[in-house]
Every structure is written in C-alpha cells, then in structure tokens.
A = this chain, B = another copy of it.
Amino acid sequence: MAGNSIGQLFKVTTFGESHGLALGGVVDGVPAGLELDEADLQVDLDRRKPGQSRYTTQRREGDEIKILSGVFEGKTTGTSIGLLIENTDQRSKDYSKIKDVFRPGHGDYSYWHKYGHRDYRGGGRSSARETAIRVAAGGIAKKYLKQVHGVEIHACLSQLGPIKAEQFDWQQVEQNPFFFPDVTKLDALDEYMRDLKKQGDSVGAKVKVVAKGVPVGLGEPVFDRLDAELAHSLMSINAVKGVEIGDGFEVVEQKGSEHRDELTPDGFTSNHAGGVLAGISTGQDIIASIALKPTSSITIPGQSINTQNESVEMITKGRHDPCVGIRAIPIAEAMMAITLMDHLLRQRGQNPHVELSHGPIPAQRT
C-alpha cells in the first residue's frame, strides 16, 4: 500500500508539504451520529501549534482546521471526512542554498535517493508540520472514544535531556509550557532550555502516553496486536527512535516473579504489562513511552555533502524547536487515539457477539 494511510476500519490518509499550499487529509470510518465540529479539533491543534511558549519555535501558523465533508447538521454521517489546513506563513524565501545539499540528520539524503526529485523547502513532506492533520484526525478519535466508551488519553513529557519527572501529577501537565508532570522540575527545565538556546543546540526527550478506560479485548492476534500497532503508529511520529509498552526496556533486568501482573477478584495487583497481554488489551491503563531525538536543525555548524558528493558545511538557520518533544504531546495522544479507535471498531466487527467489558474484574460469561 502507498504509505500515507494508517488504520483499517478507522483510516487516516494525509497529504501536504511544509511549504505547500495546504495540509489535508481524509478520515474514513467514523461511525455515523457523532456530534462533531471544528472546535472539537482545534483544541489539540492549538496545543501543538508553534509559538505557544518561549520554549518552542516562534514560527507562526494559524493551523485553522476546516471540515469539508462527512458532517451534516452537526453530526457525522458515516462518510469520509475531508480535513484542510491552509498554509498561511510561507515566507517566500530563497531556498537555493539548501536545494542541492543534504542537511545532516534530516530526510534530505534519503528522500533524494528514494525519489530522485524532492521538495526541499523546509523538509517538504518529511517536515513535522505534516502531523497537524494527524492531530485533527486524532481529535475525532478522542472525541468518539471518550463520548462512547469513556476512554481518556493523556500524554506528558516525562524527561527532557537529563531532567526526569520524579513525581507524576497529571493535573500539572496542562498547567506548564513543558507539559511536565513534576512541578518541582520546572525551574530546572527553564534554565536548561535557556542554556540550550544560547548554545544553539537541541536535546532529546521522552514522552509518556496513557489511555484510561479502554475495554478489554482490543488487538488482533497475531501480527496486528494492539502493542504492535501502537509501536507502528507511535514510531511513525517524526523524530521517534524508541517505543515502550508498560515497563518497556526495564523488563530486560526483571525476573518473571517480579514482572507478571497477578490477579485477584478485585483486579490486577500491578500493571507492568502496560495494559496489554499477548497483544490484547486487559482493561488496565494502556501505557506507552516514546523517545524523541534532538532535532538536527541547529545553528552549530556540521559537515555534509551536496548532490554532487562534494563537502559542504551546514548551519540550519530558521525558526526551529530546541526540543521537539514538547510539541509532540498532542501528536502522541492523537496516534494512540487513532490506533485505539481502529481496534475498537475492529473488535466490534470481528467479534460482534462479544460484549465489550471494562476490566479488571471479569464479567461472568455464560
């Protein structure tokens, strides 16, 4: 399949380049009857939007979402939903300098080899600007999941460079510009980011995404396990280099007696698994973490080559995020929502005779 779509029954297809006319997409498979308007989607787009704090790029994009179809009299009709965001801040600047040059750490080199012809303006299709439509599509999934099944999805920044959250207070997350759950680290974060900016450097980050209230039974063995599909959707976010479910890489040093989540009539006694056993949701919180690399768009010079294989020195100017993890919060939520939504519909379709139940206490089934 051509690669600009994700999902089976809930399917999102996107288009658009960083500096093109518009970003857009199609959300197919939204059940009929869901109340929906643009304001529902704008909320998360605004959380993702650049220029929201001093810690993110000062580039200005309106990111105003339009719903072009699939909603009638305020409710979805079950037909495909067309989404559009017009690009409004394309400065017509001179790109001739980067036209034939590969910025290190970017997709320039791999795109050029793959296609032989590329839109070099601001990364073109490989720009993280593309994720705006994901956030809008994810907003539809989030609304459905919450309204119909009571599922809530939240993400936060759990680590920025060397600074880790040691307290988790979800209330805090939307109160600070870092989406950080540990209020005691905010000053340290502020200081770290100021230093980074002075250096003209960037830094990596870790983001945690949690879904609460997910019914038991989502995920299709054996290849479309819920965790495998989450790994797919989360790893498809720009700059992500690692995905963990539950305890993730900590399991390497765990013993079986320690890792396995025991069960009592009141439910599970722990959640090392992150809400997924054998690829199927258990009704516990779905917990995932992702590692985001430091952006390669920095002002510290680096060596590279051009399309003629000649040495060049690169300095990436322009308005860039020193830590892309911050703006990735709503994107991670969106991708989690898209995958859960798809699997919810798939479970309804594959096992129409099984009632969705919410764990951890198993319903009497006979």
Chain B's nearest CB lies how many Å from the CB of A135? 14
Chain B residues contacting A162 (CB-CB under 8 Å) are 253
Which B-chain residue is minimally distant from A281 (CB atoms)?
Answer: B110
- Interface segment among A53-61, A170-178, A183-191, A217-225: the answer is A217-225
Q: Determine if A165 is an interface residue (Cβ-Cβ < 8 Å).
A: no
Chain B residues contacting A297 (CB-CB under 8 Å) are 256
Is there contact, CB below 8 Å, between B249 and A206?
yes
Flag A322-366 by CB within 8 Å of B: 1 or 0 each.
000000000000000000000001111111111001010110110
Given contacts A77-B118, A217-B113, A223-B3, A253 and B10 within 8 Å (CB-CB):
no
Instruction: Identify which of B278, B298, B309 contacts A361 (C-beta below 8 A).
Output: B309
Is there contact, CB below 8 Å, between A242 and B253?
no
Is there contact, CB below 8 Å, between A256 and B105?
yes
Chain A positions 113-160 with a Cβ under 8 Å from a chain B Cβ: 113-119, 123-126, 130, 148, 159
Chain B residues contacting A25 (CB-CB under 8 Å) are 26
Is there contact, CB below 8 Å, between A126 and B68?
no
A211 to B20, CA, bound (A): 35
Given contacts A2-B29, A20-B69, A22-B69, A263 and B294 within 8 Å (CB-CB):
no
A305 to B23, CA, bound (A): 43
Which B-chain residue is minimally distant from A230 (CB atoms)?
Answer: B235
Q: Determine if A310 is an interface residue (Cβ-Cβ < 8 Å).
A: yes
Given contacts A13-B26, A282-B110, A78 and B350 within 8 Å (CB-CB):
yes
Is there contact, CB below 8 Å, between A13 and B28?
yes
Which B-chain residue is minimally distant from A344 (CB atoms)?
Answer: B352
Chain A positions 1-59 with a Cβ under 8 Å from a chain B Cβ: 1-17, 20-26, 28-29, 31-33
Chain B residues contacting A307 (CB-CB under 8 Å) are 362, 365
Q: Determine if A279 is an interface residue (Cβ-Cβ < 8 Å).
A: yes
Instruction: Identify which of B5, B221, B302, B365 contacts A126 (C-beta below 8 A).
Output: B221
